[in-house]
Each structure stands twice: as structure tokens, then as C-alpha cells.
Amino acid sequence: MKKIVLMWMVMIMAIPAMAAETMEKATFAGGCFWCLEHPFDALPGVISTTSGYVGGHKNNPTYEEVSAGITGHTEAVQVAFNPSVVSYETLLEVYWRNSDPTTANRQFCDVGTQYRPGIFYHSEAQKQSAEASKAALMQKKSFKEDIVTEITAAGNFWPAEDYHQDYYLKNPVRYKFYRYNCGRDQRLEQLWGKK
């Protein structure tokens, strides 16, 4: 009996180490970070999403600083995922269909460099996949405008304040009101068609 209990304890202790080995990160910017969490959270294999700031020059930026456009950051979502369940390429497909790749310093009603669209890669393999995905999209896109989404090394990612995390779950009415009034779904349908 002691042997079985000991083996069971060793297996349980190994689970976090195995989980860490199978987890990867992906970072995407597509306007308000609240609106990018939900599509990724809905995917099997996504472990978590974190709203935050990437691509800037200041350590530990605040929401007020980033939204004022003085830090160089853009609002983004960092996705922790299990690549044996969901591929990075699938995450890219979800990203494209939930962003407007045709506007450089704007997403929907949010204007400024802090809302620029971007794919922030964490490895050479992610960079190559992102570039291939963008090139394929440029060939088969159904809209006339150029694709201006940047593909950049991730660098530091700073999680946003707690009240921004899972906003669509904590404040569903305000979230839906913001999303509708911002014209996000209307523009996404115009670009990509109905889901």
C-alpha cells in the first residue's frame, strides 16, 4: 500500500512539470484587449489569456500611460496554450478573424499607436508561421485594403491591472455595449463575412 501511495504522490508532483513543458505563449494585439480574450478562451487547448501591454519602452506601464500613447506599448493579449491540443497556426487564424489588419494605428473605434494590430512572436518558428500566415492572407483576402499588421519579437509583456482581466466575464453588459458601440462586430463582418 505504501508503494502505491508513494507512486501516486510522485505522479501528482510530476503533473506541474509536465504541464510547463507543454505550454507555449503567443501574443496578439488587435485593439481593446478585452475583445481578444474571449475568442481565444473559447478554444480547446488554451490554458489562459492575459490582457496587457507589449512593444513599448517603459517598464511596468499603467493603463493610463498606455492609453495616453506615451509609452509606445499596444494593448495585447498573451495566450498560454498547449501546442499538442491547439496549434499556433490555429491561434493565428482566430487572431486574423478578430482583428482589422487594414488599419495601422487604429482598431475599430480605438485610435492611436496603442491600438495598432500586431503579432508578437516568441520564437523563430512563431515568426515564420506568422509571416507565412500573413503572406497567405494577402493572396486570398476578400478586401481591397493592404494588410498592415506588424510582426515583431515579443519582448517584455506587462499584465494589465486586475480589473481588465476577464472583463467580458466580469462585466458582460458593459462589454457587449462597448463592443457594439465601437463597431467591432460590424467591421469584422464587413472584412471576414459572417461567422
CB 43 within 8 A of CB 90: yes
Which amino acid, 23?
A: M
Is residue 135 a contact partner of residue 129, using CB atoms and an 8 Å limit?
no
Looking at residue 141, its pLDDT comes to 82
What's the pLDDT at 22? 85
Supply the DSSP string of 123-186, one letter for each residue.
SHHHHHHHHHHHHHHHHH-SSSSPP--EEEE---EEEPPGGGTTHHHHSHHHHHHHHHHTTHHH
Q: 159 with 26: CB under 8 angstroms?
A: no
36-52 residue pLDDT tens: 999 999 999 999 999 99
32 is catalytic: yes
* 159-175 pLDDT per residue, tens: 999 999 999 999 999 99
Mean pLDDT of 26-33: 96
Per-residue pLDDT, 21: 59
Per DSSP, helices labelled H in 22-123 are 34-41, 63-67, 88-97
- pLDDT in the model for residue 9: 47
Within 10 A of 90 (CB to CB), how many other CB atoms are there? 16
Q: Rounded to the nearest 5°, which phi and psi values hold at 19? A: -65, -40
pLDDT digits (tens, 9 = 90+) for 79-123: 999 999 999 999 999 999 999 999 999 999 999 999 999 999 999
**Residue 154 reports pLDDT greater than 80:** yes
Q: Tell me the CB-side half-sphere exposure of residue 144, using CA atoms within 13 A.
A: 0
pLDDT of 151 higher than 80: yes
* pLDDT number for residue 12: 47
Domains of the chain: 25-192 (3.30.1060.10)
Owner of C-alpha cell 515579443: 154
Residue 20's pLDDT band, with cuts at 50, 70 and 90, is low
